[in-house]
Amino acid sequence: MIEQVDIQTPNKQQTLLTQLKAWKNLGLLRAIDYHFGEFIAQLGADNLTVLSATLCSECLGQGHICLPLETICQQLNEKCLSSEIDFQLFYDHYALSCLLQNTQEIHAQLSDSHCVSVQGSDDKAPLSLQYGALYLRRYAQFEQLIADKLLHQPQIMINGDVKTELDKLFATNYGYIFNAWQSDKKQDLGLLCEKYLDVITPNNLDWAAIENCFNQASKAEDLTQLEQLIPQHSRCDWQKVSAALALSSARCVISGGPGTGKTTTVTKLLALLLQVREDLNIKMVAPTGKAAARLTESITNALNDLHVAQSIKDKIPTQASTIHRLLGVKTNSNHFRHDENKRLHLDLLLVDEASMVDLPLMAKLLMALPEHARLILLGDKDQLASVEAGAVLGDICAFIDSGYSAQKAQQLVEMTGFDSLSRQTHSPSSMADKLCLLRKSYRFDQYSGIGYLASAINQGKANRKQVLALCEQYEDLHHYANNETSQPLLDKMIVDGYATYLKNLQPIGADNRVLAKQLLKQFNEFKILCAIREGEWGIMGLNQRAETVLSDAGLIKVDSSSDQFVHSWYVGRPVMITQNNYHLGLYNGDIGLCLLDDSGQLRVYFQMADGDVYDFQPSRLPSHETVYAMTVHKSQGSEFNHTVLALPQTAVPVVTRELIYTGITRAKKQLTLFSDLSLMARAIKNKTQRHSRLVERLKVE
């Protein structure tokens, strides 16, 4: 029970701080939450403001941007229950009875506090009350800045015959379709046409004639008859639509799952823009070095299949950087060299893996964007949100199913020829005209269980029986219980998965970085992903197990005298950086391999964002850890041929639909699940919700 103090005690505020401190000691609040509440109390705030400020800070630590007023009572009740306090007594004792009334009363009392500014005021108060939620002032400013920048619409000029150029770049590849048909003539023609000919209204087509066309075709050119059999009004190529949208909008957000062709589409778009203006200054960024390196690789690969003049290809940038590097990090500062007073020098900014970008970083990036510049955000709205506060991409994409305005739909029809777009108009907001969802995965076809499982999870419909049925039906899916019985199976996967790179270990010469790059690529063909750090099925336990298993198999030589293998250096050890070091150019999430150089010394080799390989002495590395197993959060922006997703044996809040979806979609060819399927099914119903008001700010008609 709480300390029984007379209600009339003059120092009620200090008494509330005493209770908040007790909750801190019980682990119900972080130290920073308590001290922020203490700071607000020192400013002379009343109990409601002190308590709300403390809970607002706590929300920020949980990934939320703000504290909705309607949630205060629930959060308070949970803490009272956890500390065995009668919550009615709590409300009465600390004069917080307004919390039991409606949110209007809470709003009115907080508005009266000198520590709280209200929407529309320029007050420098540390807290801000907007859209029925309490913010730390700077986070309200960040959120409003993002909304303003996204809704800003610089004048866009569309020159030349855009439709003809789009038709050329997104022309149907009948050679590919012909080969796909020849490889399996028993496959479902409907699915084939849906995948490669973008059919969206199959019921209106003459399938007998279409089937005859396929059966009679002796070469790819014979399939061009399908242009008449499957007219434009029965098709919709969302890659082409997204390119048209980005051409006609200064702000464009393209969301799509793995294999939907986001980078392929953007590469074609950049080619179109450069045909119009060859001196266009384009910059490409991603949140992490690993994601930037992958974007660099993806754009480079896409150029090989791009049918434009070599002079245009040469102008398309192939090197991406991290957001931090583009903005310019200042030593020992949260500020960047580029900001609203010193804008970036660019005409177009492309941001990949936008779901990983937290709200403060997105605000600082958009703050430094020149007024005239185009902005393209790429990402998967269904992936895990950023580790830090906010779910910016998810909030932006809340409008993605609204349909386009009549004016935008007509413009897109004229640019693409897809009449179906004019039938999808509703009552969208201004933001809806800037969004496009790539709906079709080219990686996962009708033979892919990974694709079906990912789709079912996204819809919250994957129960235990369905997952088991998919694992039995598809060769790319396997499931085992996460218990001792399955450990030998996991051990074999570890040996088989990492043997390729470990058997190819050789000293790296100063003039032969290609070998290091090849070894890094081989290492990344297999990966164990976890939801948690601690425990037998967390990264600590599984990394320890991997080293033991690989050592027993003779694939690595670890100093067995060490209490924990993970602290010793050895040839072949993979490590992940866990702390940014701007001086070395190494960032949280970067992965390197410990190898011998040609002088016999241990060096750690990293592939940087630009694709080049750099090496460092082990002693120079910032904080790091062994990485045979990694968390799903850290795996974002990566993909592996064979992914093992190991979930904990008990229910934990961190295991959500988004985490499972993200883990599963890291797999390109093979997915193995170690989990309790009943727990997993319950977790899939647990969709992450992060409190913010960005959606409300973007609702501008």
Question: Given this chain, do its domains 12-151 and 238-443 carry the same CATH topology?
Answer: no
CB of 415 closer than 8 Å to CB of 391: no
CATH 1.10.10.1020 fits 12-151, yes or no: yes
pLDDT at 389 over 60: yes
Rounded to an integer, the average pLDDT of 293-319 is 90
Structure confidence at residue 680 as a pLDDT band (50, 70, 90): very high
pLDDT at 181 over 80: yes
Please enumerate in sequence order all residues whose Cβ is within 8 A of that of 185, keeping only pairs 6 or more positions apart, or say none.
214, 215
Rounded to an integer, the average pLDDT of 591-620 is 90
Q: Which CATH class is domain 238-443?
A: alpha beta
Where along the chain do its domains lie? 12-151, 172-199+201-232, 238-443, 449-685
Structure confidence at residue 5 as a pLDDT band (50, 70, 90): very low
Q: How far apart are CA 211 and CA 625, in angstroms?
A: 56
Lowest-confidence range among 24-33, 150-159, 626-635? 150-159
- Per-residue pLDDT, 3: 45
pLDDT at 43 over 50: yes
The pLDDT tens digits of the residues spanning 562-575 come to: 554 445 899 999 99
Q: How far apart are CA 208 and CA 190, in angstroms?
A: 11
Pairing of strands 477-480, 127-130: unpaired
- Per-residue pLDDT, 562: 53
Between 460 and 284, the higher pLDDT residue: 284
pLDDT at 546 over 70: yes
**Four-way CATH pick for 449-685: 1.10.3720.10, 2.60.40.10, 1.10.645.10, 3.40.50.300:** 3.40.50.300
Q: What is the dihedral of CA 120, 124, 127, 129, to 10 degrees?
A: -10
Query: For 488, what's the count of Cα atoms within 13 Å in the CB-facing half-sphere?
Result: 1
Q: Which letter does DSSP use for residue 259 in this model?
A: T
pLDDT at 4 over 70: no
Lowest-confidence range among 202-211, 327-336, 378-387? 327-336
CB of 200 closer than 8 Å to CB of 211: no
Highest mean pLDDT out of 14-18, 85-89, 395-399: 395-399
Mean confidence (pLDDT) of the chain: 89
Q: What percent of the chain has pLDDT over 90?
A: 63
Q: How far apart are CA 280 and CA 589, in angstroms?
A: 32
Highest mean pLDDT out of 81-85, 102-106, 405-409, 661-665: 661-665
Rounded to an integer, the average pLDDT of 327-352 is 91
Residue for token pair 């750090």: 533
pLDDT at 371 over 80: yes
Rounded to an integer, the average pLDDT of 463-468 is 88
pLDDT at 513 over 90: no
Whole-structure pTM value: 0.89
596-625: b or e for each residue (b if 16 or more CB lie within 10 Å)?
eeeeeebbbbbbbbbeebbbbeeeebbebb
Lowest-confidence range among 19-23, 95-99, 442-446, 492-496? 442-446
pLDDT at 629 over 90: yes
- Per-residue pLDDT, 7: 38
Highest mean pLDDT out of 91-95, 100-104, 117-121, 295-299: 295-299
pLDDT at 627 over 90: yes
Can you say how many angstroms the Cα of residue 377 is from the centroid of all Cα atoms in its chain? 12
The pLDDT tens digits of the residues spanning 211-246 come to: 999 999 999 999 999 999 998 888 999 999 999 999
Query: For 249, what's the count of Cα atoms within 13 Å in the CB-facing half-sphere?
Result: 29
- Per-residue pLDDT, 560: 61
- Per-residue pLDDT, 6: 42
pLDDT at 521 over 50: yes
- Per-residue pLDDT, 446: 58
Structure confidence at residue 429 as a pLDDT band (50, 70, 90): confident
Q: Write out 355-369 in H/E/C secondary structure.
A: HHCCHHHHHHHHHCC
- Per-residue pLDDT, 124: 87
Highest mean pLDDT out of 77-91, 149-163, 363-377: 363-377
> Residue 67 forms beta bridges with which residues?
134
The residue type at 190:
G
